[in-house]
Amino acid sequence: MTRELRSIYPPIEPRLTGHLRVSRLHEIYYEECGNPIGTPVVFVHGGPGGSTEPNNRRFFDPDAYRIILFHQRGCGNSRPHSCLEENTTWHLVEDMERLRSHLGIERWIVFGGSWGSTLSLAYTETHPESVRALIIRGIWLVRPHEIRWFYQEGASFIFPDAWEKYLEPIPVQEHGDLLGAYHRRLTGDDRVVRAEAARAWCTWEALTLKLVPHPPDYIEQYASGDHADALARLESHYYINGAFLKSPNQLIEDVDRIRHIPAAIVQGRYDVICPSSAAWDLHRRWPEAEFSITPDAGHIAFEPGTADFLIRATDRFRGAT
């Protein structure tokens, strides 16, 4: 018998919001909703350079969870916007720890997807004593072959029509290093060139997010304005620097530090942005973690099978100590 898929919880509004200064330059935005004495959980958004949306609050039972969302440096409501200075994985890891302490939380559950899975792993491996449980999906280990697959050659064979749009801002003579070509434009002084590059970069991402693509109005919104500028600039900044990891396999190599922590991993079978090989490699290194491949999903968390697994995981872990 096919089980009935769980759906996300009803909409909920924050009961408090704020900014936390984390350096001389950066302030990060955060919000809190749900039960103030519930199990603390932090939602780690994707990108780098993305932000949160109201539906992200709905993966958690609001009666059981104290739900924390925040915007990483340089994006969303954090200040200054689209700033690359003092912006590395390890800055973000310590921002999370500072936020946990600021909120008076001893230990929390960490929940992240896509780049959020990367940062969640980096944080948990650095501060295992602060984590009750880990729930991650759309695994992205930021290894060179993963970056090459999406930004140079690989996903291009599956979406050749979308790939043509991605190539448009880059002259043919620079096609041998598309990440470098985009990074130069996204960090250059010409605002028109920067905006054109950000739009093309984010359109490519938007067109590949789901098994069944988003409608045109969503893609237009995703690839426009401040959102696109921060997302494209920060992603290219992080990826050209290998996410500032100590080695390409650091997140796999350091799994032994966290194998004692309850964990769940979910991966869409047809995730083109973060192919399943990364999730599989993590699963093989960490067999104690719950593992599921959604057979009819792409990259995003809200596809029905993936959302079902995530909701069931947060329900199981809500009493984690």
pLDDT in tens, 185-210: 999 999 999 999 999 999 999 999 99
Count how many domains the chain has: 2
The whole-number pLDDT of residue 319 equals: 82
Q: Give the dihedral sign, CA 203/110/314/285.
A: positive
Which one is catalytic: 114, 117, 120, 130? 114
Q: Are residues 207 and 257 in the same domain?
A: no
Which one is catalytic: 61, 229, 271, 308? 271
Annotated catalytic, 299? Answer: yes
Q: Compute the half-sphere exposure of residue 163: CA atoms within 13 Å on the CB side of its CA.
A: 16
Q: Are residues 62 and 149 in the same domain?
A: no
Q: What is the mean pLDDT of the chain?
A: 97
- DSSP-derived pairing of the beta strands 39-44 and 27-34: unpaired
The whole-number pLDDT of residue 2 equals: 64
- Note the helical H segments in 43-174: 89-102, 115-126, 144-151, 160-167
- Where among 209, 242, 275 does a domain terminate? 242
CB 161 within 8 A of CB 191: no
Q: What are the pLDDT digits (tens) for 215-264?
A: 999 999 999 999 999 999 999 999 999 999 999 999 999 999 999 999 99
For the cut 80, the answer to whether the pLDDT of residue 3 exceeds it is: no
Q: Are residues 134 and 36 in the same domain?
A: yes
Residue 221 phi, psi dihedral angles, 5° rounding = -65, -40
**Preceding peptide of 54 cis, ω within 30°:** no
Q: Are residues 221 and 290 in the same domain?
A: no
Annotated catalytic, 61? Answer: no
Domain span at residue 150 reads 144-242
Which one is catalytic: 26, 78, 299, 308? 299
Model pTM above 0.95: yes
- Mean pLDDT of the region 163-179: 98
- Mean pLDDT of the region 31-37: 98
What's the CA gap between 204 and 65, in Å, rounded? 35
